[in-house]
Structure 1
Amino acid sequence: MYESGENYLETILVLKERLGNVRSIDVVRELNFSKPSVSRAVGLLKEDGYITVDEDGFLELTEKGRDKAESVYERHRILTSFLMKVANVSEETAEEDACRMEHIISQETYMGIKEFLKK
């Protein structure tokens, strides 16, 4: 899966926790993307079995989608914490950098950081 797809799934997960129900327009507002871009992404995620869209337009993560979204979101949280605690950067910078890093970091490095933070 591409970085953009992971970002959409993570955003849907976070919005679902915050709002209860999520529509495409909520994703548009959260990510500040155009409606056509989000519509296309939603179509692709639906086609690939990561989300469903009900008759009222609400987005739901499938089990596959939830697993992927939770994995990405966990990496985001761990990396943000690591950058704030170890690199001593601001929360804003840590969030921005973690958002980029979460998609490219190796599993080995991620697990090392996760174990480091447990100590």
Structure 2
Amino acid sequence: MSTARQILIRGDRYPGHVQPAELSSSTQDYLKTIWQLGEWSPEKVTTTTLAARMGLAASTVSEALKKLTAQGMVTRPSYGVVELTDEGRSVAVTMVRRHRLLETFLTTKLGYAWDEVHDEAEVLEHAVSEKFLDRIDALMGHPSADPHGDVIPSPSGVIAAPTAVQLVDVLDPVAVDVVRVSDDDPATLRYLAGVGVVPGTRLRVLPDSGSPGMIAVSVEAAAPASVVSMGVLAAEAVWVTRV
């Protein structure tokens, strides 16, 4: 059994806090991206990593961070490091909830593939109302995770995420359950879907792939189980818990 970490963050429905609608789409994107960079990585978020993730020049990001600091949304405790304040975190998690609910709606109700939803949700998350989000949340039965296995924050900002590790770091033969697949690269998502490695799938890590630089797993959901040899980049995109 995996343990879960729960984070309670004051959401946008609490009076006295900055509402996302009061901020520009650009500001919303910065705050959401800062939060996501720290969601699965222990590394500190820096101006450089933020610029790389957003595809912007470091100088552009640095200027934006000065404005966010003045707004009380981020702090910069040491050179290059960026941290969200409580206010910034509240807005960020609200935007994450919007994005993941929309991704789930697009896949479950509109037939989008899981490698197609990110860009659509990036646009829609800034436009839809809370009423619309509440309606699609109820329509889908209040899902707890999006198509990629990322946890959907509750309306009050609670996030109960599994304690998971990347498949590439599982070095011994063992059974694991896939709980999350990174959506950073659409081509990787298409590949993993094609070999049956999706959230909810049970895998068995095999002792030897037979090919240098490859990781072999048995996909237990298949009948009979199929053996897949994947490269390190694909294995880094898959997060698992031990059975």
Q: Give the structure-1-normalised TM-score.
A: 0.94
Q: Which residue of 2 aligns with 1:106?
A: 129
2:139 equivalent to 1:116? yes
Amino acid corresponding to residue 40 of structure 2 in structure 1: R
Amino acid corresponding to residue 50 of structure 1 in structure 2: M
Question: Could you tell which deviates more after superposition, 68-77 or 35-44?
Answer: 35-44
- Look up the SS of the partner of 1:92 in the other structure: coil
Question: Quick one: distance in 2 between partners of 1:108 and 1:75?
Answer: 12
Residues 68 and 74 of structure 2 are in contact (CA less than 8 Å); yes or no, is this contact kept in structure 1?
yes
* Structure having the higher Rg: 2
- Look up the SS of the partner of 1:105 in the other structure: coil
Question: Quick one: distance in 2 between partners of 1:31 and 1:90?
Answer: 23
Q: Which residue of 2 aligns with 1:90?
A: 113
- Between Structure 1 and Structure 2, how many residues are aligned? 119
Q: Which residue of 2 aligns with 1:65?
A: 88
Q: As a proportion of its length, which structure holds more helix?
A: 1
Q: Which of 14, 17, 38 pairs up with 1:16?
A: 38
Amino acid corresponding to residue 85 of structure 1 in structure 2: T
- Could you tell me which runs of 5 or more consecutive residues in structure 1 were left unpaired when the two chains were aligned: none
Task: For 1:17-56, list aligned pairs within 5 A.
Answer: 17-20=39-42, 21-56=44-79
In structure 2, relative to structure 1, the CA distance for the partners of 1:36 and 1:56 (3 Å cut) is closer
Offset of residue 19 of structure 1: 2.6
Offset of residue 93 of structure 1: 2.0
- Could you tell me which runs of 5 or more consecutive residues in structure 2 were left unpaired when the two chains were aligned: 1-22, 143-243
Q: As a proportion of its length, which structure holds more strand?
A: 2
Question: Quick one: distance in 2 between partners of 1:44 and 1:118?
Answer: 39
Offset of residue 57 of structure 1: 2.2
Residues 47 and 61 of structure 2 are in contact (CA less than 8 Å); yes or no, is this contact kept in structure 1?
yes
Amino acid corresponding to residue 38 of structure 1 in structure 2: V
Residues 48 and 80 of structure 2 are in contact (CA less than 8 Å); yes or no, is this contact kept in structure 1?
no
Percent same amino acid among aligned pairs? 27
Give structure 1 regions of 4+ aligned residues with deviation exceeding 6 angstroms. none
Offset of residue 16 of structure 1: 1.1
Question: Could you tell which deviates more after superposition, 50-59 or 2-11?
Answer: 50-59
Question: Quick one: distance in 2 between partners of 1:25 and 1:36?
Answer: 10
Amino acid corresponding to residue 48 of structure 1 in structure 2: Q
Question: Quick one: distance in 2 between partners of 1:113 and 1:33?
Answer: 33
